[in-house]
Amino acid sequence: MNQIRIFADSTCDLTAELIKKYQINIIPLSIVLDDKSYFDGTEVTPDEIYKWADANKTTPKTAAASYEQIFDAMKSAMDAGEDIIFFGISGDMSSTCNVARFVGRENYERLFVIDSRNLSTGIGLQVIKAAEMAAAGKTAEEIVAYINQKKGDVRASFVIDTLTYLARGGRCTPVTALMANTLKLHPMIVVKDGKMGVSKKFLGKMDFALAKYVGELTKDLLQADKSRVFITHSGCSEATIAKVRSMLEDLDYFDEILVTRAGGVISSHCGPNTLGVLFYM
């Protein structure tokens, strides 16, 4: 059986510790500021992106990983004859998976591309599961079949603090953003079938909205895969994160509660102080 090497694009939002623990190879997407491109996670930070966006009153453009990037990153695995499994952000949000498929078609038949149909740690959940299966001796085909079968069981949602960044990116009107911010309206964004949509709206301060949000999720959380749950945020305060973590700990259900900070691509679109709870059903 071939050795399996797992790759994911940078939008999986896994911490350096998790990347090392599960031996994941990260391929960064790019963020364009002032016509200069920077690799997500290595050349620009979310806080630098916020500073630039606020100064320019717009959101940066983001770009898929290039053919050369993906080929160069995977070349050593190809040369070693390893099986490669690549996870990318939803194909409805980026062309990265298509680029990876092209690399495989032209160069290497043992490259398996999984369109996560998700983003952030909605991808990360799938990546970790694949790594666990590989460590348990499953074949690439078995891993890919299982992950594809379970894609629809990933629950990925976030509560947005401010609609300013969504408005700058053209995802809502400036008038809608102004009204929502004035009224302290916080939408719950849900990823479904590879696309983002608004599910519910919470009124009030962000901490109150997050408490309502976790309450709304509780029924599903108590029926979820017990292995792990992610709290993924785009720069929330330690106090806010601790409150959400405490609510999840009070459920006394999950084997581990993992906290990650969203990278530059996700943060560019959702803005600061966004927080999500993500898990497998």
Mean pLDDT of all residues in the chain?
Answer: 91
Rounded to an integer, what is the distance from CA 45 to the centroid of its chain?
15
pLDDT tens column, 60-88: 888 999 999 999 999 999 999 999 999 99
pLDDT band, residue 181 (cuts 50/70/90) = low
Tokens of 149: 């079968």
Question: What average pLDDT score do residues 273-277 get?
Answer: 95
Is residue 175's pLDDT more than 60?
Answer: no
The residue with greater pLDDT, 1 or 179, is 1
Question: What average pLDDT score do residues 9-38 get?
Answer: 95
Does residue 26 sit in helix, strand or coil? Answer: strand
Q: State the DSSP code for 263.
A: -
Is residue 172's pLDDT more than 50?
Answer: no
- Listing from the earlier edge strand, what are the strands of the sheet with 83-88? 24-27, 4-9, 83-88, 111-115
Task: State the amino acid at position 263 in one-letter form.
Answer: G
Would you say 59 and 165 are in contact if contact means Cβ atoms under 8 Å apart?
yes
Is residue 174's pLDDT more than 50?
Answer: no
Strand partners of residue 8: 26, 87
Q: Which domains does the chain show, CATH number per domain?
A: 4-151 (3.40.50.10170), 154-280 (3.30.1180.10)
Label residue 227 exposed, middle or buried (CB < 10 Å: 0-12, 13-18, 19+): middle
Q: pTM of this prediction?
A: 0.92
